[in-house]
Structure 1
Amino acid sequence: FVQSRRGVSRIPSVMIGVDNEKLDDPARIVNAFASYFANSFAVDSADPDKLHKGDKIFLSEWITVEDVLTVCGKLPTTFISGEDSIPSFLVRDCQYCLAQPLARIFNLSISSHVFPTRWKTAQVLPIFKKGDKSVIQNYRPISILSNFAKVLESCVYNILFGQCKDYFSSNQHGFLQGRLTVTNLTCFTEFIMDAFGSVSQVDVIYTDFSKAFDNVCHRLLINKLKNFNLSKTFVLWLSSYLTDRRQCVCYKNFKSDYYKVSSGVPQGSNLGPLLFIIFCNDILSSLGDCASSIGRCLTN
């Protein structure tokens, strides 16, 4: 978060918009960022909420008070807060007072298939990537979410990962504990050495998907979640979590107009990377006989 805040403070006072217009008014700058980030999303024509119907069974065992305490105890002791202005240190320091009511709210949220609307709103910080710092296109968005939403996400992450981990491809090296770029390169090097030993040809294709997190289709992701043997209740809740989100860009003391998030998984969230690898998990099945020979490392 400190790095994110520093990135924001280093934004030049004069920016160049998408149409090469010079902007020196902070209010116009935040709205220019918002317009650029909003155009990164894909249009999802289907309504994931119609994929399942009914099944409003209350499942009290989803999230326990102990689960909430464990997650709250790991929150940073900072003043970072989302749209609700409740800082993380306050949630952590008051965890024993908040754990029981939060667990109750979280379970009601899952059993009723509704992710709280207020928690779907994110404040976006523009973070510089590379190139000219005065060019808006050279920034990426990082979402600052409600700390209550992040606690719920972390609890759900543990449930979702536990149910999905056995379905992940062994060639998936991104966003998984114990797997990273080094393990990907190790597997790839071993494959090349075996190929050299058998005097075989090796062809390698490297791809870089632009704005991959932002372009995840909600309809396709929900359909893929059904293949992970998740209950209807859980799939419907995840559908609510993904849809009807909105965000605004924050810069200095200015906020942009709110804009709709029509695709993608929330960047800066706990669930985002896990949902992304679920979305990409079946990519190897499209590669035919090459599937068993290819490892990949998906990074944000």
Structure 2
Amino acid sequence: MTETTANPTLAADGQARHPNVDLSVPPVPVRHPGQWVIGAIAVLAVAALVLSLAQNEKLDWGTVGAYLFTPSVLQGLLVTFELAAIGMVIGVALGILLALARMSHSRVLRGLASGYIWVFRGVPLLVQLLVWGNLGLLFATLGVGIPFTDLTLLEVNTNVLVTGFVAACLGLGLHEAAYMAEVVRGGIMSVDPGQREAAIALGMGGTTAMRRVVLPQAMRVIVPPTGNQFISLLKATSLVSVIAGGDLLTVVQNIGAVNFRTLEMLFVATFWYLVVVSVLSALQHILERRLSRGYTR
């Protein structure tokens, strides 16, 4: 004895319908009570943390509010922006050159670019900043002269030339270049090779084809990680406080050493970091949506 099942019928809209299914009953979404429980626990934990900080007698929130908009703190915030912007410009410019070198046919260029990326990605940023900040211990003077001779055309004291700000820009920029090289290389490799071949077939040179055809298409892939890198770099500027770079963290630490309100001043820095990162994240989202027009479905 065999069991028979009713075959689905074809409805007017072309979709298969089983004869035993009552379409008059509205669908009921699947409930996930576990998610509600986990969400409630998370909200309660965050609320408890915020309440404990707000009611903590060891924290003087009046001091936090008093120093949020002081000129010295705002000046430190401006220096933070300058360090991040200069470091990113150095990183992007040098990163493009490194990416092109890694993709070149020259073994020498590929080896040099790979070695640079290996060193600057392998050594922690804090160590690099300390090396640049103490460069005067290694070279008392820096100058321009004729190699392998004693003739010097220009010479200057290292500590005068490489100040804390300059050392911070060099450390941040050269470190960022190693990461941007891989970001740019990944973006270029995402473009179909036929695009460059077609451009060359139309009479463009290799450099022109890269600049006018390949790179514009690669920007859709390059921009999102570049935005993330800039946000990470801006937060990494806090490390320059070890060489007195004049950034936001350096300023609040100096103030905290005077008024003995270390945690309150750190909360001031935390507030501004959160504000800046939030604004940059929103701008990055807008830029990504603009660049992705015509590619999203």
The TM-score bracket by the shorter chain reads: under 0.3
- The normalised TM-score by structure 1 is 0.22
- The normalised TM-score by structure 2 is 0.22
- Structure with bigger strand share is 1
Whose Rg is larger?
2
- Which structure has more RCO (C-alpha within 8 Å, separation ≥ 6)? 1
